Chains A and B, each alone.
Chain A
Amino acid sequence: MPSSAPVTSAEVNQVAGHRHEESAETLIGFYREMALIRAFELRASEMYARARIGGYCHLNLGEEATVVGLMDALQPSDYLFTTYRDHGYALARGMEPGKVMAELFGKTTGVSRGRGGSMHMFDAERRMLGGYGIVGGQIPPAVGAALAISMDGPAGAETEAVMCLMGDGTTNIGSFHESLNLAGVWNLPIVFVIINNRLGMGTPVEAASAEPELYKRGSAYRIPGVRVDGNDVIEVRDAALAALEQARIERRPALIEAMSYRLRGHSVVDPARYRSVDDTAEAKAQDPVPAFRERLIEAGHLDAQAATAIDQEVDLVVDDAVKFAEDSPDPSPDELFDNAYATDVANAPRSLPGERLVVS
Chain B
Amino acid sequence: MTSRSGTVAEPVEASEPGAHGYRRPLTRADHVAMPNAQVMTYRQALNDTLRQEMIRDDKVFLIGEEIGVFEGSYKITAGLLAEFGPERVRDTPIAEEGFTGAAIGAAMLGYRPVVEIMTINFTLKAIDQIVNHAAKIHSMFGGQSSVPLVLRTPGGGGQQLAATHSQNLEVWYAHIPGLKVVAPSSPADAKALLLAAIRDNDPVIFLENLALYNTKGPVPDGDEAAEIGRAAVVRAGTDVTIVSYSRGVLTALEVAERFEAEGVSIEVVDLRSLRPLDRRSICASVMRTGRAVVFEDDWLTYGIGAELSATIAEGAFDYLDAPVRRVAAAEVPLPYAKPLELAAMPDADDLARAVRELLQDTRFRK
Using A134-B128, A134-B132, A359-B280 as known contacts, say yes or no to A147 and B106 having CB atoms under 8 A apart.
Answer: yes
> Is B202 a contact partner of A140 (Cβ separation < 8 A)?
no
> Is B229 a contact partner of A122 (Cβ separation < 8 A)?
no
B345 contacts chain A at the CB level, 8 A cutoff: no
Point out the residues of chain A lying under 8 angstroms from B107, CB to CB. 144
* Complex partner residue of A340 from B101, B104, B108, B178, CB under 8 angstroms: B178
Q: Nearest chain A CB to B136's CB is how many angstroms away?
A: 9
A210 contacts chain B at the CB level, 8 A cutoff: no
* Complex partner residue of B201 from A130, A149, A343, CB under 8 angstroms: A343
A141 to B92, CA, bound (A): 15
A-B contact count (CB 8 A): 186
A149 to B316, CA, bound (A): 52
Using A130-B141, A342-B202, A343-B200 as known contacts, say yes or no to A357 and B315 having CB atoms under 8 A apart.
Answer: yes
Q: Nearest chain B CB to A214's CB is how many angstroms away?
A: 19
* Complex partner residue of A349 from B103, B108, B177, CB under 8 angstroms: B177
Using A115-B139, A140-B129, A346-B230 as known contacts, say yes or no to A357 and B98 having CB atoms under 8 A apart.
Answer: no
Q: Nearest chain B CB to A184's CB is how many angstroms away?
A: 10
Point out the residues of chain B lying under 8 angstroms from A357, CB to CB. 279, 311, 314-315
Give the interface size class of chain B: 35 or more
A129 to B123, CA, bound (A): 24
A159 to B302, CA, bound (A): 50
* Complex partner residue of A147 from B93, B105, B141, CB under 8 angstroms: B105
Q: Nearest chain A CB to B103's CB is how many angstroms away?
A: 6
Please count how many residues in chain A sit with their CB below 8 Å of the partner chain's CB atoms.
Answer: 52
> Is B93 a contact partner of A137 (Cβ separation < 8 A)?
no
> Is A347 a contact partner of B229 (Cβ separation < 8 A)?
yes
Of all chain B residues, the one with the shortest Cβ separation from A110 is: B142
A359 to B111, CA, bound (A): 36
A341 to B177, CA, bound (A): 9
> Is B144 a contact partner of A137 (Cβ separation < 8 A)?
no
> Is B228 a contact partner of A116 (Cβ separation < 8 A)?
no
B222 contacts chain A at the CB level, 8 A cutoff: no
A263 to B227, CA, bound (A): 54
Which residues B274-297 have CB closer than 8 A to chain A?
Answer: 276-280, 282-284, 287
B67 contacts chain A at the CB level, 8 A cutoff: no
> Is B278 a contact partner of A341 (Cβ separation < 8 A)?
no
> Is B280 a contact partner of A347 (Cβ separation < 8 A)?
yes
Contact string, B201-230, partner A, CB cutoff 8 A, digits 1/0? Answer: 110000000000000000000000001111
Of all chain B residues, the one with the shortest Cβ separation from A348 is: B276
> Is B106 a contact partner of A145 (Cβ separation < 8 A)?
yes
Using A137-B133, A185-B93, A341-B138 as known contacts, say yes or no to A359 and B311 having CB atoms under 8 A apart.
Answer: yes
Point out the residues of chain B lying under 8 angstroms from A179, CB to CB. 98, 101-102
Using A175-B97, A185-B93, A359-B315 as known contacts, say yes or no to A348 and B143 having CB atoms under 8 A apart.
Answer: no
A360 contacts chain B at the CB level, 8 A cutoff: yes
B146 contacts chain A at the CB level, 8 A cutoff: yes
A81 to B277, CA, bound (A): 34
Using A342-B148, A347-B229 as known contacts, say yes or no to A140 and B101 having CB atoms under 8 A apart.
Answer: yes
Using A148-B109, A347-B230, A359-B283 as known contacts, say yes or no to A182 and B99 having CB atoms under 8 A apart.
Answer: yes
Having A115-B142, A341-B202, A343-B202, one finds 11 other A-B pairs with CB under 8 Å, namely A122-B145, A137-B133, A144-B104, A147-B102, A151-B106, A178-B99, A339-B139, A347-B273, A347-B280, A349-B277, A359-B280
Complex A-B: 10 CB contacts under 8 Å: A115-B140, A122-B142, A140-B133, A143-B101, A143-B105, A175-B98, A178-B95, A347-B277, A347-B280, A349-B177
